[in-house]
Structure 1
Amino acid sequence: MLLRLPGTYPAQGDTRLLTRTLVDLDLADGRDVLDVCTGGGALALAAARAGARSVTAVDLSFRSVLTARANAVLAGVPVDVRRGDLFAPVRGRRFDLVLANPPYVPAATDRLPRHGPGRSWDAGLDGRAVLDRICDDVHRVLAPGGQLLLTQSVLADADRTVERMGAAGLQARVVARAPEPFGPVMRRRAELLRSRGLLLPDQDHEELVVVRAELPDAAEVRRVA
Protein backbone atom coordinates (compact mmCIF):
# COMPACT_ATOMS: atom_id res chain seq x y z
CA MET A 1 0.00 0.00 0.00
CA LEU A 2 1.46 3.33 -1.10
CA LEU A 3 1.08 6.69 0.59
CA ARG A 4 -0.69 9.11 -1.77
CA LEU A 5 -1.11 12.84 -1.32
CA PRO A 6 -4.31 14.34 -2.80
CA GLY A 7 -3.85 15.07 -6.50
CA THR A 8 -1.23 12.36 -6.99
CA TYR A 9 -1.91 9.69 -9.61
CA PRO A 10 -2.96 6.42 -7.94
CA ALA A 11 -1.38 3.16 -9.07
CA GLN A 12 -3.92 1.52 -11.39
CA GLY A 13 -4.11 -1.14 -14.08
CA ASP A 14 -1.46 0.49 -16.27
CA THR A 15 0.97 0.60 -13.35
CA ARG A 16 0.28 -3.04 -12.51
CA LEU A 17 0.72 -4.14 -16.13
CA LEU A 18 4.04 -2.35 -16.47
CA THR A 19 5.23 -3.71 -13.11
CA ARG A 20 4.38 -7.29 -14.11
CA THR A 21 6.19 -6.84 -17.42
CA LEU A 22 9.25 -5.39 -15.68
CA VAL A 23 9.40 -8.35 -13.31
CA ASP A 24 8.63 -11.00 -15.94
CA LEU A 25 11.37 -9.71 -18.26
CA ASP A 26 13.82 -9.21 -15.37
CA LEU A 27 15.13 -5.95 -16.80
CA ALA A 28 15.98 -4.05 -13.61
CA ASP A 29 18.47 -6.32 -11.86
CA GLY A 30 21.91 -4.69 -11.68
CA ARG A 31 20.90 -1.78 -13.91
CA ASP A 32 20.62 1.99 -13.60
CA VAL A 33 16.91 2.79 -13.92
CA LEU A 34 15.02 6.00 -14.68
CA ASP A 35 11.28 6.25 -14.00
CA VAL A 36 9.65 9.27 -15.66
CA CYS A 37 6.13 10.46 -14.78
CA THR A 38 6.65 8.53 -11.56
CA GLY A 39 3.50 9.70 -9.75
CA GLY A 40 3.60 8.13 -6.30
CA GLY A 41 6.73 6.16 -7.19
CA ALA A 42 5.22 2.69 -7.60
CA LEU A 43 7.36 1.74 -10.61
CA ALA A 44 10.51 3.20 -9.10
CA LEU A 45 9.95 1.10 -5.97
CA ALA A 46 9.30 -1.99 -8.09
CA ALA A 47 12.59 -1.46 -9.92
CA ALA A 48 14.48 -1.01 -6.66
CA ARG A 49 12.95 -4.19 -5.23
CA ALA A 50 13.84 -6.03 -8.44
CA GLY A 51 17.54 -5.40 -7.81
CA ALA A 52 18.27 -2.19 -9.73
CA ARG A 53 21.75 -0.80 -9.13
CA SER A 54 20.29 2.71 -8.91
CA VAL A 55 16.84 4.24 -9.37
CA THR A 56 16.06 7.83 -10.33
CA ALA A 57 12.46 9.04 -10.51
CA VAL A 58 11.13 12.23 -12.11
CA ASP A 59 7.78 14.00 -12.03
CA LEU A 60 6.58 17.49 -12.87
CA SER A 61 4.16 17.56 -9.93
CA PHE A 62 5.53 18.80 -6.62
CA ARG A 63 3.00 16.64 -4.74
CA SER A 64 4.04 13.58 -6.69
CA VAL A 65 7.70 14.21 -5.88
CA LEU A 66 6.89 14.50 -2.17
CA THR A 67 4.76 11.35 -2.34
CA ALA A 68 7.41 9.32 -4.16
CA ARG A 69 10.10 10.42 -1.73
CA ALA A 70 7.92 9.47 1.23
CA ASN A 71 7.09 6.08 -0.27
CA ALA A 72 10.76 5.34 -0.88
CA VAL A 73 11.56 6.14 2.74
CA LEU A 74 8.65 4.02 4.00
CA ALA A 75 9.73 1.12 1.76
CA GLY A 76 13.34 1.43 2.87
CA VAL A 77 14.71 1.56 -0.68
CA PRO A 78 17.06 4.19 -2.18
CA VAL A 79 15.33 6.27 -4.90
CA ASP A 80 16.60 9.64 -6.10
CA VAL A 81 13.37 11.59 -6.79
CA ARG A 82 13.64 14.80 -8.80
CA ARG A 83 11.11 17.39 -9.90
CA GLY A 84 11.08 18.47 -13.53
CA ASP A 85 9.84 17.95 -17.06
CA LEU A 86 10.55 14.42 -18.34
CA PHE A 87 14.29 14.08 -19.05
CA ALA A 88 15.37 17.63 -18.17
CA PRO A 89 16.37 16.81 -14.56
CA VAL A 90 18.77 14.06 -15.74
CA ARG A 91 20.25 15.80 -18.78
CA GLY A 92 23.71 14.42 -19.52
CA ARG A 93 23.10 11.08 -17.78
CA ARG A 94 22.53 7.67 -19.36
CA PHE A 95 20.41 4.80 -18.03
CA ASP A 96 20.18 1.10 -18.80
CA LEU A 97 16.40 1.09 -18.39
CA VAL A 98 13.75 3.80 -18.63
CA LEU A 99 10.22 3.22 -17.32
CA ALA A 100 7.33 5.46 -18.37
CA ASN A 101 3.65 5.55 -17.48
CA PRO A 102 2.84 8.97 -18.94
CA PRO A 103 -0.49 10.77 -19.45
CA TYR A 104 -2.19 9.30 -22.54
CA VAL A 105 -5.95 9.92 -22.28
CA PRO A 106 -7.38 11.84 -25.26
CA ALA A 107 -8.91 15.10 -24.05
CA ALA A 108 -11.31 17.75 -25.28
CA THR A 109 -8.49 20.15 -26.12
CA ASP A 110 -4.76 20.25 -26.81
CA ARG A 111 -4.36 22.64 -23.91
CA LEU A 112 -2.73 20.65 -21.10
CA PRO A 113 -3.75 21.30 -17.49
CA ARG A 114 -1.15 23.19 -15.48
CA HIS A 115 -2.55 22.15 -12.10
CA GLY A 116 -4.77 19.53 -10.53
CA PRO A 117 -5.16 15.77 -10.97
CA GLY A 118 -6.02 16.07 -14.69
CA ARG A 119 -2.35 16.70 -15.36
CA SER A 120 -1.81 13.00 -14.61
CA TRP A 121 -3.94 11.78 -17.51
CA ASP A 122 -4.92 14.53 -19.98
CA ALA A 123 -2.68 14.37 -23.05
CA GLY A 124 -4.21 16.52 -25.77
CA LEU A 125 -6.77 15.73 -28.45
CA ASP A 126 -5.04 12.52 -29.60
CA GLY A 127 -3.55 11.52 -26.23
CA ARG A 128 -0.01 11.87 -27.53
CA ALA A 129 1.22 15.18 -26.14
CA VAL A 130 3.65 13.41 -23.79
CA LEU A 131 4.02 10.10 -25.63
CA ASP A 132 5.53 11.74 -28.70
CA ARG A 133 8.06 13.65 -26.62
CA ILE A 134 9.19 10.45 -24.95
CA CYS A 135 9.44 8.64 -28.29
CA ASP A 136 11.54 11.44 -29.77
CA ASP A 137 13.87 12.08 -26.84
CA VAL A 138 14.34 8.87 -24.82
CA HIS A 139 17.37 7.86 -26.91
CA ARG A 140 19.21 10.83 -25.36
CA VAL A 141 19.10 9.24 -21.90
CA LEU A 142 19.55 5.58 -22.86
CA ALA A 143 22.94 3.93 -22.64
CA PRO A 144 23.97 1.83 -25.67
CA GLY A 145 21.89 -1.33 -25.48
CA GLY A 146 19.55 0.40 -23.01
CA GLN A 147 15.83 -0.30 -23.00
CA LEU A 148 12.53 1.47 -22.48
CA LEU A 149 9.29 0.03 -21.10
CA LEU A 150 6.31 2.31 -21.70
CA THR A 151 2.62 1.72 -21.03
CA GLN A 152 -0.30 3.38 -22.77
CA SER A 153 -3.83 2.78 -24.05
CA VAL A 154 -4.44 1.71 -27.63
CA LEU A 155 -6.78 4.72 -27.79
CA ALA A 156 -3.62 6.81 -28.10
CA ASP A 157 -2.35 4.69 -31.03
CA ALA A 158 0.26 2.18 -29.89
CA ASP A 159 1.31 1.53 -33.50
CA ARG A 160 2.29 5.17 -33.81
CA THR A 161 4.43 4.82 -30.69
CA VAL A 162 6.30 1.87 -32.20
CA GLU A 163 6.76 3.70 -35.51
CA ARG A 164 7.93 6.92 -33.90
CA MET A 165 10.47 5.10 -31.75
CA GLY A 166 11.73 3.34 -34.86
CA ALA A 167 12.21 6.70 -36.54
CA ALA A 168 14.31 7.77 -33.55
CA GLY A 169 16.63 4.77 -34.00
CA LEU A 170 15.11 2.38 -31.46
CA GLN A 171 13.93 -1.17 -32.05
CA ALA A 172 10.40 -1.26 -30.61
CA ARG A 173 7.48 -3.66 -30.30
CA VAL A 174 4.45 -4.32 -28.09
CA VAL A 175 5.30 -7.01 -25.52
CA ALA A 176 2.23 -7.08 -23.26
CA ARG A 177 -1.49 -6.38 -23.49
CA ALA A 178 -4.34 -6.32 -20.98
CA PRO A 179 -7.98 -5.19 -20.98
CA GLU A 180 -8.82 -2.50 -18.44
CA PRO A 181 -12.38 -1.64 -17.34
CA PHE A 182 -13.19 2.05 -17.52
CA GLY A 183 -12.43 3.99 -14.37
CA PRO A 184 -14.04 7.31 -13.40
CA VAL A 185 -12.03 9.38 -15.91
CA MET A 186 -12.82 7.17 -18.88
CA ARG A 187 -16.50 6.86 -17.92
CA ARG A 188 -16.80 10.64 -17.87
CA ARG A 189 -15.02 10.90 -21.23
CA ALA A 190 -16.65 7.97 -22.99
CA GLU A 191 -19.20 9.98 -24.99
CA LEU A 192 -16.52 12.35 -26.24
CA LEU A 193 -14.40 9.42 -27.39
CA ARG A 194 -17.39 7.71 -29.02
CA SER A 195 -18.13 10.88 -30.95
CA ARG A 196 -14.60 10.66 -32.40
CA GLY A 197 -14.98 7.02 -33.34
CA LEU A 198 -12.44 5.85 -30.77
CA LEU A 199 -14.94 3.72 -28.85
CA LEU A 200 -17.70 1.35 -29.89
CA PRO A 201 -21.23 2.25 -28.76
CA ASP A 202 -21.30 -0.26 -25.91
CA GLN A 203 -17.57 -0.39 -25.12
CA ASP A 204 -16.80 -0.22 -21.40
CA HIS A 205 -13.10 -1.08 -21.38
CA GLU A 206 -9.87 -0.17 -23.12
CA GLU A 207 -6.80 -2.18 -24.03
CA LEU A 208 -3.55 -1.28 -22.33
CA VAL A 209 -0.20 -2.20 -23.86
CA VAL A 210 3.45 -2.17 -22.91
CA VAL A 211 5.92 -1.10 -25.59
CA ARG A 212 9.49 -2.31 -25.23
CA ALA A 213 12.18 -0.42 -27.12
CA GLU A 214 15.95 -0.87 -27.27
CA LEU A 215 18.73 1.46 -28.36
CA PRO A 216 21.20 -0.73 -30.29
CA ASP A 217 24.78 -0.61 -29.10
CA ALA A 218 27.56 0.42 -31.45
CA ALA A 219 28.76 -3.13 -32.07
CA GLU A 220 25.29 -4.27 -33.10
CA VAL A 221 24.91 -1.32 -35.46
CA ARG A 222 28.22 -2.21 -37.13
CA ARG A 223 27.14 -5.85 -37.53
CA VAL A 224 23.87 -4.84 -39.16
CA ALA A 225 25.66 -2.37 -41.42
Structure 2
Amino acid sequence: MTTLSRDTGGAGGPLMVPPGVYPPQEDTFLLAEALNREPLKPGADVLDIGTGGGALALAAARRGARVTAVDRAWTAVLAARLNAARARLTVEVLHGDLLAPAAGRRFDLIVTNPPYVPAPGSHPPRGGPARAWDAGSDGRAMVDRICAGAGALLRPGGALLLVHSAVCGAELTLQGLARTGLEPAVTDRRWIPFGPVMRSRATWLEDQGLIAPGQEKEELVIIRARRPQ
Protein backbone atom coordinates (compact mmCIF):
# COMPACT_ATOMS: atom_id res chain seq x y z
CA MET A 1 0.00 0.00 0.00
CA THR A 2 1.38 3.42 -0.95
CA THR A 3 0.31 6.94 -0.03
CA LEU A 4 -0.01 10.03 -2.20
CA SER A 5 2.86 12.49 -2.02
CA ARG A 6 0.50 15.45 -2.27
CA ASP A 7 -2.07 15.01 0.51
CA THR A 8 -5.50 14.75 -1.11
CA GLY A 9 -6.97 12.43 1.47
CA GLY A 10 -8.68 15.16 3.46
CA ALA A 11 -9.64 14.41 7.05
CA GLY A 12 -8.62 10.76 6.61
CA GLY A 13 -4.98 11.60 5.87
CA PRO A 14 -3.02 10.74 2.74
CA LEU A 15 -4.77 8.83 -0.03
CA MET A 16 -4.25 5.09 0.20
CA VAL A 17 -3.33 3.53 -3.15
CA PRO A 18 -2.87 -0.27 -3.20
CA PRO A 19 -0.65 -2.05 -5.74
CA GLY A 20 -2.28 -2.28 -9.14
CA VAL A 21 -4.22 1.00 -8.76
CA TYR A 22 -3.01 4.04 -10.71
CA PRO A 23 -1.45 6.43 -8.19
CA PRO A 24 -2.28 10.11 -8.70
CA GLN A 25 0.49 11.80 -10.66
CA GLU A 26 1.03 15.04 -12.57
CA ASP A 27 -1.97 14.44 -14.84
CA THR A 28 -4.21 13.95 -11.80
CA PHE A 29 -2.89 17.08 -10.13
CA LEU A 30 -3.38 19.15 -13.29
CA LEU A 31 -6.95 17.90 -13.60
CA ALA A 32 -7.57 18.65 -9.92
CA GLU A 33 -6.52 22.26 -10.54
CA ALA A 34 -9.05 22.51 -13.36
CA LEU A 35 -11.72 20.92 -11.19
CA ASN A 36 -11.08 23.47 -8.45
CA ARG A 37 -11.75 26.30 -10.91
CA GLU A 38 -15.16 24.95 -11.87
CA PRO A 39 -18.08 26.96 -10.38
CA LEU A 40 -19.75 23.99 -8.68
CA LYS A 41 -22.90 24.71 -6.73
CA PRO A 42 -23.57 22.74 -3.53
CA GLY A 43 -25.33 19.55 -4.47
CA ALA A 44 -24.06 19.56 -8.06
CA ASP A 45 -23.86 16.08 -9.57
CA VAL A 46 -20.31 15.07 -10.50
CA LEU A 47 -19.11 11.91 -12.25
CA ASP A 48 -15.49 10.72 -11.99
CA ILE A 49 -14.68 8.17 -14.72
CA GLY A 50 -11.73 5.91 -13.95
CA THR A 51 -11.46 7.08 -10.37
CA GLY A 52 -8.49 4.95 -9.27
CA GLY A 53 -8.02 5.66 -5.59
CA GLY A 54 -10.62 8.42 -5.70
CA ALA A 55 -8.48 11.58 -5.54
CA LEU A 56 -10.67 13.62 -7.91
CA ALA A 57 -13.91 12.22 -6.50
CA LEU A 58 -12.85 13.33 -3.02
CA ALA A 59 -11.86 16.77 -4.30
CA ALA A 60 -15.35 17.24 -5.73
CA ALA A 61 -17.06 15.85 -2.62
CA ARG A 62 -15.16 18.27 -0.39
CA ARG A 63 -16.81 21.08 -2.38
CA GLY A 64 -20.27 19.79 -1.50
CA ALA A 65 -20.96 17.94 -4.74
CA ARG A 66 -22.89 14.69 -4.98
CA VAL A 67 -20.25 12.45 -6.47
CA THR A 68 -20.45 9.21 -8.40
CA ALA A 69 -17.15 7.50 -9.22
CA VAL A 70 -16.58 4.60 -11.61
CA ASP A 71 -13.71 2.20 -12.18
CA ARG A 72 -13.43 -1.10 -14.03
CA ALA A 73 -10.95 -2.54 -11.50
CA TRP A 74 -12.44 -3.89 -8.29
CA THR A 75 -9.21 -3.04 -6.44
CA ALA A 76 -9.68 0.62 -7.40
CA VAL A 77 -13.38 0.57 -6.45
CA LEU A 78 -12.56 -0.76 -2.99
CA ALA A 79 -9.67 1.69 -2.57
CA ALA A 80 -11.88 4.66 -3.50
CA ARG A 81 -14.57 3.51 -1.08
CA LEU A 82 -11.98 3.16 1.67
CA ASN A 83 -10.50 6.59 0.99
CA ALA A 84 -13.95 8.21 1.02
CA ALA A 85 -14.75 6.57 4.35
CA ARG A 86 -11.41 7.66 5.83
CA ALA A 87 -12.05 11.23 4.67
CA ARG A 88 -15.64 11.09 5.99
CA LEU A 89 -17.01 12.01 2.59
CA THR A 90 -19.95 10.53 0.72
CA VAL A 91 -19.00 9.13 -2.67
CA GLU A 92 -20.96 6.51 -4.61
CA VAL A 93 -18.32 4.24 -6.15
CA LEU A 94 -19.50 1.88 -8.89
CA HIS A 95 -17.77 -0.97 -10.66
CA GLY A 96 -18.00 -0.98 -14.44
CA ASP A 97 -16.57 0.03 -17.78
CA LEU A 98 -16.21 3.76 -18.40
CA LEU A 99 -19.63 5.41 -18.93
CA ALA A 100 -21.79 2.28 -18.68
CA PRO A 101 -22.54 2.37 -14.92
CA ALA A 102 -23.90 5.93 -15.25
CA ALA A 103 -26.11 5.29 -18.30
CA GLY A 104 -29.43 7.12 -18.11
CA ARG A 105 -28.21 9.63 -15.52
CA ARG A 106 -27.26 13.29 -15.97
CA PHE A 107 -24.42 15.25 -14.40
CA ASP A 108 -23.32 18.85 -14.04
CA LEU A 109 -19.65 17.91 -14.36
CA ILE A 110 -17.71 14.88 -15.58
CA VAL A 111 -14.01 14.53 -14.79
CA THR A 112 -11.80 11.83 -16.24
CA ASN A 113 -8.16 10.82 -16.41
CA PRO A 114 -8.48 7.79 -18.69
CA PRO A 115 -5.75 5.44 -19.92
CA TYR A 116 -4.02 7.20 -22.83
CA VAL A 117 -0.50 5.84 -23.30
CA PRO A 118 0.10 4.38 -26.79
CA ALA A 119 1.22 0.77 -26.66
CA PRO A 120 2.07 -1.97 -29.15
CA GLY A 121 -1.08 -3.89 -30.05
CA SER A 122 -4.47 -2.64 -31.14
CA HIS A 123 -6.38 -3.59 -27.99
CA PRO A 124 -5.87 -2.37 -24.42
CA PRO A 125 -4.99 -5.01 -21.80
CA ARG A 126 -7.94 -6.64 -20.04
CA GLY A 127 -6.15 -7.01 -16.73
CA GLY A 128 -3.02 -6.19 -14.80
CA PRO A 129 -1.57 -2.82 -13.82
CA ALA A 130 -1.03 -1.72 -17.45
CA ARG A 131 -4.76 -1.38 -18.08
CA ALA A 132 -4.58 1.81 -16.00
CA TRP A 133 -2.46 3.49 -18.69
CA ASP A 134 -2.19 1.48 -21.93
CA ALA A 135 -4.84 2.42 -24.52
CA GLY A 136 -4.10 0.82 -27.87
CA SER A 137 -1.59 1.69 -30.56
CA ASP A 138 -2.59 5.38 -30.73
CA GLY A 139 -3.54 5.82 -27.07
CA ARG A 140 -7.11 6.73 -27.96
CA ALA A 141 -9.05 3.53 -27.22
CA MET A 142 -10.68 5.00 -24.10
CA VAL A 143 -10.50 8.68 -25.04
CA ASP A 144 -12.55 8.14 -28.20
CA ARG A 145 -15.25 6.25 -26.30
CA ILE A 146 -15.50 9.05 -23.77
CA CYS A 147 -15.70 11.64 -26.54
CA ALA A 148 -18.56 9.72 -28.15
CA GLY A 149 -20.61 9.16 -25.01
CA ALA A 150 -19.95 11.85 -22.41
CA GLY A 151 -22.27 14.44 -23.92
CA ALA A 152 -25.31 12.22 -23.35
CA LEU A 153 -24.56 12.23 -19.61
CA LEU A 154 -24.29 16.01 -19.26
CA ARG A 155 -27.07 18.38 -18.33
CA PRO A 156 -27.45 21.51 -20.45
CA GLY A 157 -24.70 23.87 -19.32
CA GLY A 158 -22.70 20.96 -17.87
CA ALA A 159 -19.07 20.30 -18.72
CA LEU A 160 -16.54 17.54 -19.22
CA LEU A 161 -12.96 17.90 -18.00
CA LEU A 162 -10.56 15.41 -19.58
CA VAL A 163 -6.78 15.11 -19.29
CA HIS A 164 -4.47 13.23 -21.61
CA SER A 165 -1.08 13.46 -23.28
CA ALA A 166 -0.75 15.53 -26.42
CA VAL A 167 0.89 12.43 -27.90
CA CYS A 168 -2.69 11.15 -28.39
CA GLY A 169 -3.65 14.19 -30.44
CA ALA A 170 -5.53 16.98 -28.71
CA GLU A 171 -7.03 18.11 -32.00
CA LEU A 172 -8.61 14.68 -32.52
CA THR A 173 -10.23 14.95 -29.10
CA LEU A 174 -11.56 18.42 -29.84
CA GLN A 175 -13.03 17.19 -33.11
CA GLY A 176 -14.57 14.11 -31.52
CA LEU A 177 -16.27 16.12 -28.79
CA ALA A 178 -17.51 18.76 -31.23
CA ARG A 179 -19.14 16.04 -33.35
CA THR A 180 -21.43 15.21 -30.41
CA GLY A 181 -22.58 18.82 -30.03
CA LEU A 182 -20.25 19.85 -27.21
CA GLU A 183 -18.17 23.03 -27.21
CA PRO A 184 -14.58 21.93 -26.47
CA ALA A 185 -11.40 23.88 -25.86
CA VAL A 186 -7.92 23.23 -24.47
CA THR A 187 -7.73 25.11 -21.18
CA ASP A 188 -4.41 23.93 -19.71
CA ARG A 189 -1.08 22.65 -20.98
CA ARG A 190 1.90 21.41 -19.00
CA TRP A 191 5.15 19.78 -20.06
CA ILE A 192 6.46 17.00 -17.79
CA PRO A 193 9.39 14.57 -18.04
CA PHE A 194 8.59 11.10 -19.32
CA GLY A 195 7.68 8.66 -16.60
CA PRO A 196 8.92 5.05 -16.52
CA VAL A 197 6.33 3.76 -19.01
CA MET A 198 6.99 6.43 -21.64
CA ARG A 199 10.76 6.09 -21.21
CA SER A 200 10.58 2.32 -21.61
CA ARG A 201 8.87 2.58 -25.01
CA ALA A 202 10.42 5.80 -26.33
CA THR A 203 12.08 3.98 -29.23
CA TRP A 204 8.76 2.41 -30.28
CA LEU A 205 7.00 5.79 -29.97
CA GLU A 206 9.66 7.35 -32.19
CA ASP A 207 9.23 4.57 -34.75
CA GLN A 208 5.47 5.24 -34.82
CA GLY A 209 6.05 8.96 -35.35
CA LEU A 210 4.30 9.80 -32.09
CA ILE A 211 7.27 11.61 -30.54
CA ALA A 212 10.30 13.38 -31.94
CA PRO A 213 13.72 11.67 -31.92
CA GLY A 214 15.32 12.14 -28.54
CA GLN A 215 12.15 13.58 -26.98
CA GLU A 216 12.15 13.20 -23.19
CA LYS A 217 9.08 15.18 -22.17
CA GLU A 218 5.38 15.03 -22.97
CA GLU A 219 2.76 17.75 -22.93
CA LEU A 220 -0.35 17.16 -20.84
CA VAL A 221 -3.54 18.89 -21.94
CA ILE A 222 -6.81 19.59 -20.16
CA ILE A 223 -9.80 19.73 -22.47
CA ARG A 224 -13.02 21.29 -21.22
CA ALA A 225 -16.13 20.56 -23.26
CA ARG A 226 -19.39 22.30 -22.41
CA ARG A 227 -22.86 21.19 -23.36
CA PRO A 228 -24.81 24.23 -24.59
CA GLN A 229 -27.88 25.37 -22.66
TM norm. shorter chain > 0.5: yes
Q: How does 1:53-202 map to 2 (within 5 A)?
A: 54-202=66-214
SS in 2 for 1:67: helix
Scaled by the length of structure 2, the TM-score of the pair is 0.91
Task: Indicate whether 1:32 and 2:32 are aligned.
Answer: no
1:164, 1:203 → 2: CA distance?
A: 27
Whichever residue aligns with residue 190 of structure 1, its letter is A
How many corresponding residue pairs? 216
- Distance, in Å, in 1 between the alignment partners of 2:155 and 2:33 is 23
Q: 2:31 aligns with which of 10, 13, 18?
A: 18
Identical columns (%): 53
Alpha-carbon distance, 1:81 to partner: 0.2
**CA 1:67/1:107 → structure 2, altered by over 3 Å: closer, same or farther?**
same
Give me the whole-angstrom Cα distance separating, in 2, the residues matched to 1:128 and 1:155: 10
Partner of 1:221: none
Does structure 2 retain, via aligned residues, the 8 Å contact 1:33–1:47?
yes
- Structure 1 counterpart SS, 2:192: strand
Give the TM-score normalised by the residue count of structure 1. Answer: 0.93
CA distance in 1, matches of 2:144, 2:46: 21
Shift of 1:28: 6.4
Q: For 2:22, give the aligned amino acid.
A: Y
Q: Which runs of 5+ in 2 are unaligned?
A: 1-13
Question: Which amino acid in the other structure matches residue 175 of structure 2?
Answer: E
Residue deviations 1:179-203 (CA, integer Å, cap 9, x gap): 1111111111111101112222221
What stretches of structure 1 of length at least 5 have no aligned partner?
Answer: 218-225
